[in-house]
Structures are given as C-alpha cells and as structure tokens.
Amino acid sequence: MSFAPFELIDGNKKSGLLLTADHASRALPEAYGSLGLEAAQFDRHIAYDIGVAELTRKLAARLDAPAVLGGFSRLLIDPNRGEDDPTLIMQLSDGAVIPGNYPMDAQERETRLNAFYRPYHDQVSALVYDVREESGRAPFIVSIHSYTPVWRGKARPWHCGLLWDKDDRALRPLLEMLRAEHLLITGDNEPYDGALRNDAMFKHATSKGYPHILIEVRQDLIADNAGTDQWAARLAPMLTALNQLPEMQEVQFFGSRTDPV
Ligand SMILES: [Zn+2]
C-alpha cells in the first residue's frame, strides 16, 4: 500500500479561509518500523499533536473550509521546520537517541524531504493558490496545533495559545474573543514564540503577506470527542468573524521578527 504524505479535505474555496494541521498524524511508512523506538512512544505528544486531526476535521466541516492535514509523524521529519533547521529531523527525544534518525546521512535526509515534507508543503501551496484564485482575496490561513499540558515537570496554565510573528491582523481580534471567555486562559505567543524562520506559517503566509494565525490547544482538552466538539464549536464562529474583517482580505507585508537586520 502506498503512503499518503497528506490528507486533503475539500471545502468552499470562495470564502478565503483554509486550515492546515502540520502535526495531525503519527503514521510512519512500514519501511521505517517505529524508528527503533518502543511503539508506545507513538501514543505520545512527541510523535504528533494529540487531538488535532479530529479538531481540524470538525472545524473544516463546520466552516465548509478546505484543509490539509500532515500524513506522517513529526519524528520522521517535522513539517513545521525550515529545511535548514537543525531540528528538522529530531535525533534526540527526551534525552534518548532515536535510533532510526541517528546517524542521519544527507541521502536519507533528502529522501524524507522528497517523500514526505515537500509533497505536504506543495499541497498546502497549491491549496493556498487555489483559494486565492477562487476567492479573489488574500487567503486567511489557520494552522491548528496542540501541546502537552506538562513540560519538564511544569504544568502549563494556558488552555490555548495564539502564536504569531509580526502580522497581528488575526491575532488581535481573536485574542480579544478568546479572552472574553473568562474561564479560559489564552496565551499570547505561549507556550511558544510564533516567530520561527522558515517554519510553515513563514513559508505559506508571512512571506506572502497573507493573514494567518497559529492556534495551539492544550492536548488534554481535545483528547476525546467531547473536547474536540467543544473546541470546534468555540473556534468556528470566531474564525468566520475574523475571515470577514476587511483587513484580512488584503495582501499586506509585515515582515518577520526573524528578518536579518
Ligand atoms: Zn504542532
């Protein structure tokens, strides 16, 4: 059976909105076994973003939005890193060597780029292009991720976080909508900073002047059906409202905090 490096969900391209889910899958082609790790490692956040495939499918359905979901584990190659990033193929996880990734020669690296990473990004690029053509406006790109509730022994207080670089067109109104829910703690560039050179948002949005936002949801909140239902119901109307703002329909270059000075 052939291995699909992405899953494409069809939707209305005329609205201008599209979804991506870089870390939706923990799948590996058979030839890679489990990269020498115990199979149980593939149930963990190190292999994929728990809950994100389900949440993204539900959002796509509610919004009638097209979506591209990554089809391979980030342990194979990480689609949310630049090709030149040293963590593109993780060689260590939790301090232990990943046998299937170490040592990594240039040929195997190129094989993984060509078989998984580039087909995924080519599909995202193609969808972004189609949405722009069909909608006649700047596409609004929403990237869905999730994070582990405890990192290095420390509990993370945020229920969700919005990651961004310099383009705050989607950030400001979405942060306001989420913070209006008083029981919800929403991080602003937490638990990570959204400015990462050549990452997926940089490639498809920042460098093109397209409005975008990266939404991180804490994994324990979307680990089951009820959780993904609740978050899809919460986020869908917010994304619809954002997508209709006039400033979201313009191509506008903000640059990146990672730009050389
Ligand atoms: Zn992720």
- Span 65-81, pLDDT tens digits: 999 999 999 999 999 99
> Rounded mean pLDDT of 1-30?
96
pLDDT (tens digit per residue) in 151-171: 888 999 999 999 999 999 999
Q: How far is the CA of 202 from the centre of ligand 1 (A)?
A: 15
* Nearest one of 5, 225, 249, 18 to 129, comparing CA atoms: 18
The residues, any chain, with a CB within 8 Å of residue 172's CB and separated by 6 or more, are: none
Would you place residue 96 in the very low, low, confident or very high pLDDT band (cuts 50, 70, 90)? confident
pLDDT (tens digit per residue) in 33-54: 999 999 999 999 999 999 999 9
Cβ-in-10-Å burial (0-12, 13-18, 19+) of 225 comes to exposed
Residue 62 has pLDDT above 60, yes or no: yes
Classify residue 16: in a domain, yes or no: yes
Q: How far is the CA of 146 from the centre of ligand 1 (A)?
A: 6
Q: How far is the CA of 47 from the centre of ligand 1 (A)?
A: 10
Classify residue 260: in a domain, yes or no: no
Residue 94 has pLDDT above 80, yes or no: no
Tokens 């995202």, residue located: 124
Classify residue 134: in a domain, yes or no: yes
Q: What pLDDT does 88 receive? A: 97
Q: What is the CATH number of the domain that holds 86?
A: 3.40.630.40
Domain around 115: 6-249
Give the integer Cα–Cα distance in Å for 72 and 32: 11
Q: How far is the CA of 53 from the centre of ligand 1 (A)?
A: 11
Give me the chain's average pLDDT, please.
96
> Rounded mean pLDDT of 170-192?
97
Classify residue 256: in a domain, yes or no: no
Q: What pLDDT does 1 receive? A: 57
Specify the length of the chain in residues: 261
Q: How far is the CA of 30 from the centre of ligand 1 (A)?
A: 23
pLDDT (tens digit per residue) in 114-148: 999 999 999 999 999 999 999 999 999 999 999 99
Classify residue 189: in a domain, yes or no: yes
| Element containing residue 27 per DSSP (H, E) | none
